Copies of this chain bind each other. A is one copy, B any other.
């Protein structure tokens, strides 16, 4: 337990101790609505990715607005959300090892649980665990549609694995997981469109090959915040896994927006304070790389184009400043983090603000759920 909190509900914005992870509720709620609108009238449903927020309060709001459930990346993460009442969780990952399989199968007694496979041995181990716990698990074959990470090759290899799943009694073959991660941050709309056209073609070919073998493919799931309109309109995907749209980090903000792309807003900020101002040309803030993950680059300073965050060390952020008047010791600033997912994972709570006031603290209950 940390010895004190950054804020309490009712506090004015200026009273928040720093660094703190701040959620702008108005912008966040608009992002939720824009996603719901973007899928309304389509036959494509949202299964919101919870790996970026790890926050049951957010998952509940996503489900209330129409999401069928959530995705998680880890079994322990899924356990947190099942405990919080989410009834349909897809672990968008391979699950390997006895301990993990035991926990995954146990969750199958409390919620609808799905999982991915890309190897015959995973199918055998999942079937054994499901049988031991007397549960049925939804299983999706992960297809490598361009990300070159996990996943079998499109076509025959996927067909063989799908048939193995379908032949395993305690497993329910649901369909295909076709996620193209690198496409999410291709900067031009044309690159993103081309990458997803390729991914959709690979998914379509594979679905048709499985169906030609006599096995129905109920679900083709994938997509992220950077590309989901392409998957929505592909005619082959029928489930969208976007997550970051709730927050919009700097890396997503750096994408050039296509003319039809949804105007999600930055809603997640690291609030920080100028703690050193020993020279006119730089200021040092109290948010370094333990407060704002730099794996996808440095944060930017919100609504202060005159300031540049130029260097992060563990607990310090160095800002280049135009002159001595630009900032004073003690000034608060808001940073837009480079990458929302690992930044959220550094905090225990979201400090939710509306206007100039703290409205709530939401526990990031799956923070650190690595297993």
Interface residues, chain A, with chain B CB atoms under 8 Å away: 2-4, 6, 15, 17-20, 51, 73-74, 76, 79-80, 83, 93-97, 99-100, 103, 118-119, 121-122, 144, 148-153, 181, 273-278, 282, 284, 286, 289-291, 293-295, 311-316, 318, 329-330, 341-342, 345-348, 367-371
Closest CB-CB distance, A276 to chain B, in whole Å? 4
Chain B nearest CB: distance from A298 CB in Å? 11
B314 touches A273 (CB 8 A): no
Determine the chain B residues whose CB is within 8 A of the CB of A118 once the complex forms: 276, 278
B96 close to A150 (CB less than 8 A): no
Q: Quickly give the copy total for this chain.
A: 2
Q: Which residue of B lies closest to A313 (CB)?
A: B181
A17 lies within 8 A of B329 (CB):
no
Going nearest first, the 7 A-B pairs with the smallest beta carbon separation are: A150-B276, A73-B315, A3-B79, A96-B275, A118-B278, A94-B275, A17-B99
Partner of A51, one of B144, B277, B278, B314: B314
Check B346 against A151 for contact (C-beta < 8 Å). no
On whether A342 and B289 interact (CB within 8 A), knowing A118-B278, A347-B368, the answer reads yes
A-B contact list, 16 entries, CB within 8 Å: A2-B80, A3-B76, A17-B97, A73-B315, A93-B275, A95-B275, A96-B275, A96-B329, A97-B273, A118-B276, A119-B278, A148-B282, A289-B295, A290-B370, A295-B312, A345-B346
Q: Which of A76, A99, A273, A342 has the most CB of B within 10 A?
A: A342
Nearest residue in B to A152 (C-beta to C-beta)? B278
Distance in Å from the Cβ of A223 to the closest Cβ of chain B? 16
